[in-house]
Structures are given as structure tokens and as C-alpha cells.
Structure 1
Amino acid sequence: MARARKAKSKPKSRAKAKKPFRPVRWLMWWGVRVFSVVFLIAVLGVLLWSVVNPPTTFYMMQESRRLGGVDHEWVPLEEIAPVMARSAVAAEDANFCLHWGLDLDAIRTAIEAGGSRGASTISQQVVKNVYLWHGRSWLRKAMEAGLTPLMEAIWSKRRILEVYLNVAEFDEGIFGVEAAARHYFGVGPEALTATQAARLAAVLPNPKGRSASRPSNFVRNRSAQIRDGAATIRADGRAACFES
């Protein structure tokens, strides 16, 4: 009888070597994932408000809690006097139709002036009011700078201005041009005159310290400048992007 061959025992599979932990690679991997999620949320948020009217903002909610309510009613741009839109642009961002959200020339001028004047465009103000919070912090400014070009890429200039006029604060607890027109002048936003529109635009940087119905000498002079500026941007074509 042939000897039975001894069965060769199979070598035991070696346990896979444990990969060394690389903290830098781990942080980069998670950083990319977190950035992707945040970017997706930002895109969805910008897409949503491009077609849906924001019912309120963080600042409005803060003021509503503090004051026990605010006056705010949405009105489409078609129901706002065109001179009001031109006045807001002339007062806050004369090159609104020429930039992509960040006015680099205005930023450079502000830096040269030592930060004594603002450089925020209307687009930046919409991002701050609709998506972020009020306050001076590097985090908010960085988020604002990132979201503004994204909004400009998705929204039309006309939509940006429409939202701006509907969420801007014109007096304590008075938000949007519809409430402001009735509060100050007792008329609807479609009936605003050039002088009334210029006065409303003149209070925008400091709505709690200025009045459109009881204007100081400063507001009167500023309103005259805005009225001339509104006529100028209409004549030279800088209002075309939101009036076409």
C-alpha cells in the first residue's frame, strides 16, 4: 500500500499590516468632505432664495424680539418706482452693474482712506442680510466674500436689487421699501417721487440715526447728491442691468 503523503499544511495568511495613522492626510480628507458639504448647502441656499422670497432675516428676527415686532411686507420690483431702485444704487453702489459682487476699486479706495469709508457693494449687503449676521468679524467677512460671487453667478442683478430693497432697514423696526414709503410719506412704493426716493436712500447707511420725513441738513444735502446720481446712472447706462 502506497504511503499516504502527508498533506502539506497551508501557511497561515499573515495579518495585513496596519497602516500608520497620518494626521495630516486625515485632516485633509475630512477637510475636503466638510468643505464639500458646506459648499453644497451654500449652493442650495443661494438657489432657493433666487426664486423664493426670503420671509425674514436673522437681523429682522433679532429686532422683532427686541421691539416686539417689525413692519415688513414684500413687494416685487415691478411695483417699486424705478427712481427708487436707481436712487439706492446711486447711494450705495454706483457701479452695481459693472462688478461681479466685489468692487475692487472701492475696496482699494477704502484701504487707502484707512478704513474710514465702507466698500460693501449691494450684493455684499444682501449676502450679509439674508444669509449671515450683522457684526464685524473676520469669519463673517470671509463668508461674505465667498458667498457674494456665488450669488452673483446664480442671481440676476435685478433679483439682487429686488431683495435688497425688500430687506434693507429704513428706520427702527421698518424693513423694506414698502413699509418705509408708507411710514415716512404715506404712499405706496410705486408712487415715490425722485425726492422721496433719494431721501429714503440717504438714510440707508444709518437708518436709526437719520430720518427721511424730518431730514437734517446732512440728509437734505445727501439726498440732492443721490438724486443727481440717480439721473446720471440712468443717462450713462449704469442702470441698464436692473431696468432691462
Structure 2
Amino acid sequence: MTTYFVGFFLGLHRICDQVMAIKRGNYRKKKVSSTSWKKQLKSWSIRIVVGFFALSIFWVLCLKFINPPITYLMIKRGFQWQSEGKGFKIEKDWLPYDDLSNNLKRAALAGEDAHFMSHNGFDTDAIKQALEKNQSGKPLRGGSTISQQVAKNVFLWPGRSWLRKGLETYFTFLIEIIWSKKRILEVYLNVIEMGQGVYGAEAASHYYFNKSAKSLTKKEAALIIAILPNPRQWDARRPSNYVNSRANNIVRYLSHYEIPD
């Protein structure tokens, strides 16, 4: 009997050892599997981040030499126009920087970005003023430089989310490094929304004054820039008192601004 119990317990001990060995093996497999999954996640995360930076830098570099054919905003506005039963409308015509009226270039600086030639893409004074005006908790408005507007219009989508604002900051930083001030101003004056379905100075000049942006007068250039805060509601041909007053102020300070050459 004693021999029987000893044999039973020895057998039970062997079974327990085998069960524990199987559990330890499974645990090691799970641990290896978990470690492998974490490594793969880390590897793909690094690839995505590196890929984003490489692609964005390549994109900005390409547009230093290639004129952007269309923007997200143009497409969005086109469909909005179509949904109102007015047809899909995008009027634009690229005009090289040297052909654009100097009056228009100076008007853009006078009306939109007084420190364009000296800042690195961000006007800290304008940002501080915008923050002070938005202490009430309303969405952040104002403070955008020409460089920031180019980053937003060419590379991004309309919106006020922190993600879009962060990407705007990133692309502003890139174009300030890779592009020249001349290129930034050229792209700005050719892609900015200047009316309902009208984009860029050349299309706007023909739309409002039946002439090329090559020969805009000081007042005509100032009127086009004066409507930019609300180009779908304001009209350079029939300016309100406010728009006309803004245009007159732009004309007054036009000669004070140096433009890229």
C-alpha cells in the first residue's frame, strides 16, 4: 500500500511538472509575441513619421519650381458653388511674379503683412494682438502672415483645429526655409481666394476691372487686397464704405513697403 501511494504521488508530481513546463513555455511564447508586436508597432511608427517628413519636404521642394495647379479650397468652393445650382466654378490664371503689378505686391504687404520682409514666417506682434482679442474664448482669429496663408491654402484644408494649426506652423517653417520671399509672395498672389470662384490676381483683375494684373493702378490693387478678409461677400467694383476706407489706407502707405526682387 505504501508503495502504491508513493508511486501515485510521484506520478502526480511528474504531471504537475509537465503542466508547469507547458505554462512556462506558453508564457515565453506570449512574452515573445508581445515583444514582437511592440517592436513592429515602433518600427511602423518610425516609418510613418520619417515618411511624412520626407514626403512633405519633397512636396515643398517641388512647389518651389512647379506652380500648384489647384488647392483643396478651390475644389471645396467649387462644389459649394455647384450645390447652389450655379455650376462648378474655378477661375484662375497664373501670372509670373515679374509680370504682376508692383502696386499689387506692395498693396499685399500694406494690407495683409506689414512685416513680411523681416519676419521668419510668424509675426509675433500680430499673434499677441490676436490672442488679446480672443481672450473671450472664441476661436482664434487674426495674426496670420502671408507665409502662413500660403501654407494653409496650398498644403492644407480650411479649419481651426489644433491639428491643422500645427501643420500650418510646420509648413510655414518649411516654405520659409526652402522658398524665397519672392516665391512665397508669387504663390500667394496666384492662389489666394479673391472672389466667388475667383483665385489669384490675374483672374481677379479681369473679373473686377477687365484688365490684366500687370497694369493695376494703386487704387485698383488696393481694392483687391482690401476685400481679402471676406472675398465672397465684398466686391472691389462696388466697395462698401469700410472696404473703400481700407483701400485708401493701403494706398496711403503703399510707397513705404519694399518688395522682393
Shorter-normalised TM range: 0.7 to 0.9
Structure 1 position 61, deviation (Å)? 1.4
- Kindly tell me: are residues 173 and 89 of structure 1, through their superposed partners in 2, closer, same or farther at Cα, counting changes over 3 Å? same
Local SS of the residue matching 1:43: helix
Percent of aligned pairs sharing the same letter: 41
Residue 50 of structure 1 aligns to a residue whose secondary structure is coil
**Structure holding more helix per residue:** 2
> 1:231 and 1:23, CA in 2 relative to 1: closer, same or farther beyond 3 A?
farther
Aligned match for 1:203, one of 200, 219, 227 = 227
Q: Which moved more, 1:38-47 or 1:98-107?
A: 98-107
- Given the alignment, which residue of 37, 58, 64 partners 1:50? 64
Say if 2:246 is the partner of 1:222: yes
Matches of 1:59 and 1:93, distance apart in 2: 21
How far off is 1:110 after superposition? 1.1
| Matches of 1:152 and 1:94, distance apart in 2 | 16
C-alpha deviation, 1:128, in angstroms:
0.7
1:54-91 deviations in Å (ceiling 9; x for gaps)? 11111111222333121111110111110101101111
Deviation at 1:222, TM superposition (A): 0.3
- Would the alpha carbon gap of residues 28 and 107 (structure 1) be closer, same or farther in structure 2, given more than 3 Å must change? farther
Match of 2:106?
Answer: 86
Unaligned runs of 5+ in 2: 1-24, 82-87
Q: Compared with structure 1, are the counterparts of its residues 95 and 22 closer, same or farther at alpha carbon in structure 2 (3 Å cutoff)?
A: farther
Question: Is 1:137 paired with 2:157?
Answer: no
* TM-score computed with the length of structure 1 as normaliser: 0.85
Aligned to 2:173: 149
Deviation at 1:190, TM superposition (A): 0.8
Alignment partner, residue 55 of structure 2: 41
Could you list the runs of 4 or more consecutive aligned residues of structure 1 that deviate by over 4 angstroms after TM superposition?
15-20, 22-29
Aligned to 2:115: 95
RMSD between aligned residues: 2.1
Q: TM-score, normalised by structure 2?
A: 0.79
- Stretches of structure 1 that go unaligned for 5 or more consecutive residues are 1-14, 234-238
Q: Does the residue aligned with 1:51 lie in a helix, a strand or coil?
A: coil
Aligned to 1:108: 128
Q: What is the aligned length? A: 223
Distance (Å, rounded) in 2 between the aligned partners of 1:92 and 1:150: 21
**CA displacement 1:10-64 (0-9 Å, x = unmatched):** xxxxx99975628877655443322110000100110111100111111111222
Q: Whose Rg is larger?
A: 2
1:212 is aligned to 2:236:
yes
Per-residue deviation at 1:163?
0.5
